[in-house]
Structure formats: structure tokens, C-alpha cells
């Protein structure tokens, strides 16, 4: 049973994302007993993971879980491998070092366009250095993967999480605009409902 739940948003996203807000609303209504944390992640991957690791330092690995979307799915995998907890990954980034290498520079936040996000060249090495080589216990993962993802290759996602529980969607999109349809499966996997 999950007693502590971490949600990690994706690149240029925030805790205001649609999926994070849907999860938060469900948790508040149905499981206020579960400790919920959805931090605003720094642009630096090293700082993001340091923030998360410090924030969950006293969480019990056996009853904590992490959900991550896109780049947050990559981070969720890093956290799950380090902590030994369960993870739900939503259209997870598989090789963000490669994918973000062409995005070095300044960007805006999706939910707060006035905020600037700087992708520094050293972030690519930070991502490369933290990437888990393999998934030690694939049964701890549930991957929701959309064939209609317009940003990431679903074949790569499926190959990475092939030994895990996978829900492969024929359509949908990178943002999983139909996340509400898949929420029951996420909740069941995490023993929340």
C-alpha cells in the first residue's frame, strides 16, 4: 500500500500540469492520508534529483511510489532505482541527454510563460551521468505509453520498459490528454484504490 506519493513533472512543465492536478484532486478527495509531494523541479537535472532525494530522505521505500511524466518519467526511473520503490512512468523520456542536446538555451514554461528556463550545456552531461543502465526490478514499474506521442518515440519507450507492466495506447498524445481514462489503472498499480 502506498503511504507517500511523489509526482515529477516534465520539461518546461510544472505542478500546474493537467495530470499533476488530476492526481492531486483525486488524492485530496479519496486518499488525504497519503503524503503527496509535487515539487517545482529546477532546470538542472542534478539539482532536480538532489531536491527530490533530500525531500524523500525519510520516506519508507516499501510504501512510497513515484509518478513521472516525460522528463519526469526519466527522473522517476532514477528515483525508483535508487530508492527501490514503485514507479509509474507516463510517456517517459528514454534518452533526455540526446533529446535536450539540441535545446540548449532559453525556453518558456508551459504554465507560466513569463518564467524563463535555461538549459545549460552541462545539463546534458548531468542527464547522461544519472541514467540507470538497466531496471533492476521491472515489476516495480508501470509504463503508460501513447503511440500518438508527437515528441517521443513510443518504440524506444516500449523497448526500455518491455519487461514491465505496460499500457500501450493506440492513440493519445505526449501530454496524455486522456489521462483521466488511465487514472484507474495507475491507482490500482499503486494500491491506492
- Domain limits at 47? 4-94+134-189
Residue 143 belongs to some domain of the structure = yes
**Which pLDDT tens digit goes with each residue over 63-103?**
999 999 999 999 999 999 999 999 999 999 999 999 999 88
Claim: this prediction has a pTM higher than 0.85: yes
Residue 90 belongs to some domain of the structure = yes
Residues 6+ positions from 118 with CB-CB distance below 8 Å: 43, 105, 106, 107
**Which pLDDT tens digit goes with each residue over 93-106?**
999 999 999 888 88
Greatest CA separation for the chain: 43
* Structure-block grid coordinates of residue 85: 520503490
Any idea what the CATH number is for the domain that residue 80 is in? 3.40.50.1820
Residue 30 belongs to some domain of the structure = yes
Residue 61 belongs to some domain of the structure = yes
Domain total for the chain? 1
Question: What three-state secondary structure class fits 169?
Answer: strand
| Residue 85 CB neighbour total at 10 angstroms | 23
The span from the CA of 8 to the CA of 167, in Å, is: 19
Amino acid at each position: 500500500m502506498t503511504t507517500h506519493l511523489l509526482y515529477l513533472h516534465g520539461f518546461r512543465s510544472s505542478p500546474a500540469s493537467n495530470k499533476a492536478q488530476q492526481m492531486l484532486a483525486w488524492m485530496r478527495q479519496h486518499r488525504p492520508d497519503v503524503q503527496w509531494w509535487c515539487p517545482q523541479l529546477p532546470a538542472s537535472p542534478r539539482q532536480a534529483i538532489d531536491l527530490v532525494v533530500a525531500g524523500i530522505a525519510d520516506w519508507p521505500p516499501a510504501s512510497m511510489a513515484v509518478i513521472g511524466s516525460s522528463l519526469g518519467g526519466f527522473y522517476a526511473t532514477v528515483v525508483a532505482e535508487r530508492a527501490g520503490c514503485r514507479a509509474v512512468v507516463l510517456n517517459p523520456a528514454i534518452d533526455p541527454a540526446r533529446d535536450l542536446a539540441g535545446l540548449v538555451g532559453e525556453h518558456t514554461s508551459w504554465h507560466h510563460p513569463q518564467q524563463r528556463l535555461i538549459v545549460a550545456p552541462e545539463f546534458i552531461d548531468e542527464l547522461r551521468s544519472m541514467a540507470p543502465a538497466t531496471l533492476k526490478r521491472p515489476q516495480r514499474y508501470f509504463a503508460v505509453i501513447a503511440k500518438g506521442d508527437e515528441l517521443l518515440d513510443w518504440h524506444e519507450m516500449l523497448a526500455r520498459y518491455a519487461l514491465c507492466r505496460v499500457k500501450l495506447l493506440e492513440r493519445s498524445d505526449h501530454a496524455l490528454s486522456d489521462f483521466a481514462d488511465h487514472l484507474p489503472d495507475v491507482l490500482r498499480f499503486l494500491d491506492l484504490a
